[in-house]
Amino acid sequence: IVTYERETWGKKIDFLLSVIGFAVDLANVWRFPYLCYKNGGGAFLIPYILFLVIAGMPLFYMELALGQYNREGAATVWKICPVFKGEFSLSLLSLYSISFLTSASSPTSHLLKKDPLPTSYAKYKMTPAAEFYERGVLHLHESRGIQDLGMPRWELVLCLVAVVFLLYFSLWKGVKSSGKVVYITATMPYVVLFVLLIRGITLPGAMDGIRAYLHIDFKQLNDPKVWIDAATQIFYSLGAGFGVLIAFASYNKFDNNCYRDAILTSTVNCVTSFFSGFAIFSVLGYMAYKHGVRIEDVATEGAGLVFIIYPEAISTLPGSTFWAIVFFIMLLTLGIDSSMGGMEAVITGLSDDFKILKRNRKLFTFATAFGTFLVALFCITNGGIYVLTLLDNYAAGTSILFAVLIEAIGVSWFYGVDRFSEDIERMMGFKPGLYWRLCWKFVSPTFLLVVVIASIVTSTGLSYDDYVFPSWSNVIGWGVALSSMMFVPVYAIYKFLSMPGTFKQVSVKTNPSHLRSFDQLVNSLLRKPSLNVLVLLLESPSLSTPIQHCSHPLKS
């Protein structure tokens, strides 16, 4: 028998800050406030909170419990139901997201070096701030579209190198190092948001902006797009489906109360999204007041908000250099945190599956960081903003919802809600309540299936400002999404075809629920969950399959 002790978080707060840091990302600042404003203001909170309660929070809890009980990453955790191991391929979403976030952080690093320009608002982005961002930083005017990307901008390449090296040295020693980095990166955004809010509400016109943010228009709820936006935002913001929560939870102590952690961290994330809207719209209200225009003339989302509109507002304030530095440091830490989570999901998942990678973690971490760097180079070319837009739409929409749907079906229907509940009871001493079990088995999968279908049916072509993406780029976008989604059925078919026996025999082998009595026997005998045991004695045909599929962290 070969044994090894799995690394654990140094302190409980390391885990909580890592989860919060991953979940609270750029989307909380540049997407949620605008979605809330655009989709009925306070009325948007109805579908948002509903989806949080019936799907977001239950599946957040599921991922934490799944990782903590099995003490494995997102690849090997599917020993509970091997036919679903292809779901780990959806961690490709993490790679896309890392590239998206690191490339988005690069202009942030570059803008930190520049003094704010004196600006005045005008429509159609004809302001010095917009021209500096699009012509001075991105060089967008040198690209005719996504078909004409050009070469990477050397200034942004240097910034990207700095961001990637920061990611590498945060992760190369595992959670022992990353757990300390988040003390700064996870808390900094809250300090900055609070400071910006206090400054924002003292500005003239701030209350008009906040009223616009919170206005209630129930008629918007008749639009299916509002509900799809709310569902997508919940899952993109909470981070369920990326494999990150499973990876983080796998380093917890076996008896950690992950139920309390799930409630706390998911609530903190959603409250942060709502809170950031006050900091954003108080300043947008000031912009509208100062230039005598309506709120809708300055309200926007994405890069236009954080790199043009908000910096332009900051530049009109006394001490603008200080406020600009504070704001961009917040954006940088938001991007770094989420990138760390996505990279850790890939590293942990593959390291648990291939032990040679675990033994050479530093080298593997460098290879992952370097691969991320190469993909992100496409996003910092002259036409990189088009690649960024494509990834933002196709790698962060339907794919996420599909990933969580497959996960919910695999755990609830194939592994079994009852068995999963018993696993949780072994960890924490109590079973999940009826509400959680109903959500896992019926409510969440049904809801996710409806939203996935609706998101596909209502999908439209991409555009960036006045530029409309060519049809072939939308095909590439769906290829990006399907590159991870198709692995699930492909691997399931491969698993069935590669195993000997009839279809009925293979079905039994790939669904280990029939091993409940054996698993319970093992769990009653083994009470040292801090160790993982790799069993080498598998000669007995009667014990081979039960041992391989036993879900207890200590296999024997």
Query: What's residue 63's pLDDT?
Result: 93
CB contact at 8 A, 546 and 518: yes
Q: Mapping DSSP to helix (H, G, I), strand (E, B) and coil, where does residue 499 land? A: coil
Given pLDDT bands bounded at 50, 70 and 90, which one contains residue 3?
very low
Is there a domain that residue 554 lies in? Answer: no
Is there a domain that residue 527 lies in? Answer: no
**Other CB atoms within 10 A of residue 128 CB:** 16
Given pLDDT bands bounded at 50, 70 and 90, which one contains residue 295?
confident
Q: Mapping DSSP to helix (H, G, I), strand (E, B) and coil, where does residue 75 land? A: coil
Distance CA 556, CA 549 (A): 11
Is there a domain that residue 543 lies in? Answer: no
Find tokens 């009852």 and name the residue.
418
Query: What's residue 531's pLDDT?
Result: 40
CB contact at 8 A, 514 and 545: no
Least confident of 20-34, 386-400, 413-427: 386-400
Average of per-residue pLDDT across 349-361 = 87
Is there a domain that residue 165 lies in? Answer: yes
Query: What's residue 364's pLDDT?
Result: 92
DSSP 278-308: HHHHHHHHHHHHHHT--GGGT---THHIIII
Look at 318 and 128; give whichever has higher pLDDT.
318
Query: What's residue 92's pLDDT?
Result: 55
Q: Which two tokens stand for residue 379?
A: 């996003």
CA 384 to chain centre: 21
Using one digit for the tens of pLDDT, what is the confidence trace for 164-192? 898 898 888 878 778 788 888 888 889 88
Amino acid letter, 542 = S
Residues annotated in the binding site, as ranges?
A: 21, 23-24, 28, 237, 269, 334, 337-338
Is there a domain that residue 473 lies in? Answer: yes
- Tell me how long the chain is: 556
Query: What's residue 516's pLDDT?
Result: 46
**Other CB atoms within 10 A of residue 302 CB:** 19
The total of structural domains in the chain comes to 1
- Helix or strand holding residue 504 (H, E): helix 503-510
Residues annotated in the binding site for Na(+), as ranges?
A: 21, 23-24, 28, 237, 269, 334, 337-338
Kindly report the average pLDDT of the chain as a whole number: 79
Taking the model in full, what pTM does it have? Answer: 0.82
Nearest one of 153, 151, 142, 156 to 113, comparing CA atoms: 156
Using one digit for the tens of pLDDT, what is the confidence trace for 208-260? 999 989 888 888 888 888 888 888 788 778 888 788 899 999 999 999 999 99
Is there a domain that residue 513 lies in? Answer: no
C-alpha angle 230-231-232 in degrees, rounded to nearest 5: 95
Query: What's residue 507's pLDDT?
Result: 54
Distance CA 233, CA 31 (A): 8
Is there a domain that residue 518 lies in? Answer: no
Domain range for 335 is: 15-107+125-502
In the chain, the percentage of residues whose pLDDT exceeds 90 is 19
Is there a domain that residue 9 lies in? Answer: no
Domain CATH number, residue 157: 1.20.1740
CB contact at 8 A, 528 and 554: yes
Least confident of 42-51, 80-89, 281-290, 394-403: 80-89
